[in-house]
Structure 1
Amino acid sequence: MEHNSSTSLTRRGLLRTGAGAGLAALGLGYGAQSASAAVPTSPRFDLSQPSYDLFRDNVLHSKRVQQSFAFDSVNKRLFVAAKRYGSTEEAGDLCISELDFHGNYVSYMHLNGFGHGVAFGVRPSGSTSYLWIESDANSNGYGSKLACVKYTAGATLDSSSTSFGRFQPVSGATEYTCSIDPVHNRMIVRYHKDGAKHIAVYNVSDTDNGDFSNPLVDFTPPSISGTPQGYTLYGSYMYFMTGNAYSDSNPDPGNTYITSINVNTGAIAQGPTLTKAGSTLTFREPEGLAVYRTDAGESRLFLGFATGVEGDRRSSIFYKNALV
């Protein structure tokens, strides 16, 4: 990566300059290197166990289908990404809604030309939330870079802005998304290269510094059938969701499946496993996975669904909490 040697690469320095021109000077793209270390082994969520409601049919700022969501566990914020109402699919215009942990709407931010919103992560710094999210949407509406953006309520930010840093972690890759495991402090990056999707995992102590040169693992995941609808990381396991909205050809309980993948071996650990979370919803389209640990110490795998009616889509989120 090219960077300005006078720019601090500490986490605090990177996040503090994330809203200013300084971070942009960090440049683009560490080249991907072979993984140099394994991810420490952890328990995994048992996908066969029941799911529980966090909330159902809660209002977002955008009335379109949500795409993904992520938690700021320090400041107790939940962010949900959806396409911006009135924009085309290819524009990559996103609307980020901020909710509290009860699902009550708080504020919004518009990110124009950023991407599809498949997955993103949040890093807190003091009372501020920073979004690690795709940016610089290509002609298909998917992000060609990763960005670290300060969440600012009510603001509109264009992807052409020089006020935030952009990163291309893997040499030769053309699309990026990411998610953050806030329990084990790691970032998972899903990238497109050589006609296929690949996975890399990093310590956030590195990515907080804008450093993507030392992936813990870097592999091609197994082929999983179905429409991809989100992914996240918990410890040494990646979770991947597929499925579609209810329809005449896809009635209740639907075709939403979750699969866990051991990131150290690249092999499926469990699944694909059908989930019936929210099966009684009238409209139910799987959209997003995220991880959070409660103040009481319970780790949870959250499953998101777009619900509601056309023109007034809502957010419904459920969770699993059984570890094995």
Structure 2
Amino acid sequence: MRTKKRKILWMMFLAFGFCAAFQSHCVKVEAKIVKRDVTPREPSSSDLQVVRKVTKLASKRWIQSFTMDSKYYYYIQMTKPYCGNLRITRVKYRGLGRYTRDHMDLKRFGHATNLDCSTVNGRTWLWTGSDCKKGSDVSRAISGFPYRKNTTLRKHGAIRYKIPDIRIGKYMTNIYPAISEDNTQMAVRYTYNNRQYFQIYNLIDGKFINPRGPVKRFSIDATYGDFQGFDLYGSSVYTIDGSPRRSFLKAYNREYNCSAVYHPTRIRRYDFDSGASRRVVIRGAKRLSYREPEGIKVVSGRRVYIMYISNTLTNQSCNIYKVKRWI
């Protein structure tokens, strides 16, 4: 699923960056879909409740994931596929649609499939995939680092772990972390032989794991739609998948002779202790432009938050929702 999404993004980047004719067509397609970049109010029948309205980030970058601590939201964007250069934007909301923002950059890190954070003595550490090779966005390690505005990290953060599959001993690639809400465990996801695997680690002081000593290893079936992120809460892993809205894909496929397939937003909860699994189709944000899910967070009380991307293909915005359903 992720490979397919990467190919679509790469086509989008080439079209946007290197061909003026395509660029003018792209505006034409988006004009049919997008009228105003706003977060519409949700009806009572929706599964969603608006938490943070439309937030503007850097244009010509693709928003991939988010996380938050008690003070800030952090959003991560990919500059282009097969490159690994990322930007993290830190946002402080001040009510009534107002917010302040700053950023830091990551060079040669990865695809930004997942972003999470841990809090250590009141200090936030951000975690994502890192160490991709030149000309690739496949992460080969995970990194933790404190946020420092207007700075650039290269290749990896202050803390870095290469992750071996505990059964075969081989170091894995395409790896991403998620941190439990109480900062005591880390889930690491990786793909191998067309399956997605997870290893659960005890997290010491919010920063340290034993890469060769996971407390749990398991695999789950691939998602129906494009994989869009995951989180860890208690003994459960939550995943989110889905595509942009159907009307956007129809216009895009017609204009550029593509075959992108629509998938609704689905959240899956998998309990790795009991083996129980549940999938839920999320109904909401029906009037939001573009409407691609990117990221999921589960916080105290098992409350689930998700992000939808809005506006246009090359000028994306963030919208944060609370899921009202119990998952």
Aligned partner of 1:291 in structure 2 is 298
* Alignment-mate amino acid for residue 123 of structure 2: T
Equivalent position to 2:131, from 133, 136, 140: 136
Q: Are 1:301 and 2:300 matched, yes or no?
A: no
Aligned partner of 1:167 in structure 2 is 161
Contact 1:62 1:95 in 2 (8 A): no
Q: Structure 1 residues 321, 126: CA separation in 2 closer, same or farther (over 3 Å shift)?
A: farther
Equivalent position to 1:69, from 66, 70, 77: 66
- Paired residues for 1:60-99 under 5 Å: 60-73=57-70, 76-84=71-79, 88-99=80-91
Shift of residue 109, structure 1, vs aligned partner = 0.8
Secondary structure in structure 2 of the residue aligned to 1:209: coil
Q: Could you list the runs of 4 or more consecutive aligned residues of structure 1 that deviate by over 4 angstroms after TM superposition?
A: 321-324
Equivalent position to 2:322, from 316, 319, 322: 319
Residues 90-133 of structure 1: per-residue CA shift (max 9 Å, x gap):
10111101112568242111101101111122122345321111
For normalisation by structure 2, the TM-score amounts to 0.72
Contact 1:186 1:201 in 2 (8 A): yes
Aligned partner of 2:202 in structure 1 is 203
Task: Identify unmatched segments of 5+ residues in structure 2.
Answer: 1-44, 251-261
* Alignment-mate amino acid for residue 308 of structure 1: N
**Percentage of pairs with the same residue:** 23
Q: Structure 1 residues 254, 279: CA separation in 2 closer, same or farther (over 3 Å shift)?
A: farther
Q: CA RMSD in A?
A: 2.6
Aligned residues: 263
Aligned partner of 1:260 in structure 2 is 269
* Alignment-mate amino acid for residue 88 of structure 2: I
CA distance in 2, matches of 1:184, 1:114: 23
Shift of residue 56, structure 1, vs aligned partner = 2.6
Deviates more, 1:206-215 or 1:217-226: 206-215
* Alignment-mate amino acid for residue 66 of structure 2: F
Secondary structure in structure 2 of the residue aligned to 1:70: strand
Shift of residue 309, structure 1, vs aligned partner = 2.2
Deviates more, 1:182-191 or 1:91-100: 182-191
Contact 2:201 2:215 in 1 (8 A): yes
Shift of residue 265, structure 1, vs aligned partner = 4.0
Aligned partner of 1:279 in structure 2 is 286
Q: Are 1:152 and 2:155 matched, yes or no?
A: no
Structure with bigger helix share is 2
Task: Identify unmatched segments of 5+ residues in structure 1.
Answer: 1-47
Secondary structure in structure 2 of the residue aligned to 1:108: strand
Q: Structure 1 residues 95, 184: CA separation in 2 closer, same or farther (over 3 Å shift)?
A: closer
Whose RCO is larger (CA < 8 A, sep 6+)?
1
Q: Structure 1 residues 207, 55: CA separation in 2 closer, same or farther (over 3 Å shift)?
A: closer
Shift of residue 143, structure 1, vs aligned partner = 0.9
For normalisation by structure 1, the TM-score amounts to 0.73
Shift of residue 292, structure 1, vs aligned partner = 2.7
Residues 152-203 of structure 1: per-residue CA shift (max 9 Å, x gap):
01111111x6x62321122411221011122463211101334432011122
Shift of residue 236, structure 1, vs aligned partner = 1.6
* Alignment-mate amino acid for residue 145 of structure 2: V
CA distance in 2, matches of 1:208, 1:106: 26
CA distance in 2, matches of 1:194, 1:187: 23
Shift of residue 207, structure 1, vs aligned partner = 6.4
Q: Structure 1 residues 105, 118: CA separation in 2 closer, same or farther (over 3 Å shift)?
A: farther
Residues 283-324 of structure 1: per-residue CA shift (max 9 Å, x gap):
11111111233xxxx542111111112432100111125547
